[in-house]
Amino acid sequence: MSQQLPPFAELLAQCTTSAVHLETRDLYATDVEDHDLKAWRAGELADVSDRSSWWSWFHDAVADAVARGVAVQRARVVSLPATEYIRFEHACTPRNLAAGEDVRWLPRDQALGLLLPAHDYWLFDGQVVRWHHFAGDGRHLRDELDERPVSADHAGKAFAAVWDRAVPHAEFVLD
């Protein structure tokens, strides 16, 4: 595994075909002052059509990649009934879609039989994995770059298996 960790936007900018993201946690710790989470809790999340209120460097990076022909896909494996944080993510997903991501959801009970990694990750062009390490309470600890072909192969197969079973965002209803 490589010790250097290029910024996410740089890795995405180098992609030529695909960038896929697998998320498997029901809780991601956010700063207690997170503006969007507070707004969502208050029923005041900015409308997706008002890009100036939510568009960020991340959305720029995704939109640029998609404009170059890179398929950007995100699959979320979630427990139902959903946690508050997953409900928040679901409400914010139209932002990902507006940037050009394709997002699908898989209820955890429908993931039975799939061999999934213990960590969330991004897989770039089917070759480079950026593993995300989290604490049990959802705090992000660090990321790790992995360029081993076997890791990329396993990550690609795991993502494809989830993607095949997952439901497109527009069709997915939280219970």
pLDDT 10s digits, 83-119? 999 999 999 999 999 999 999 999 999 999 999 999 9
pLDDT given for residue 93 in this prediction: 97
- The pTM assigned to this predicted structure is 0.94
Share of the chain above pLDDT 90, in %: 82
Name the more confident of 169 and 35.
Answer: 169
Domain locations in the chain as residue ranges: 9-117+154-171
User: Has residue 32 got a pLDDT over 90?
Assistant: no
User: Has residue 65 got a pLDDT over 50?
Assistant: yes
In what order do the strands lie in the sheet containing 140-146?
A: 140-146, 128-134, 120-124, 18-23, 71-78, 102-107, 167-168
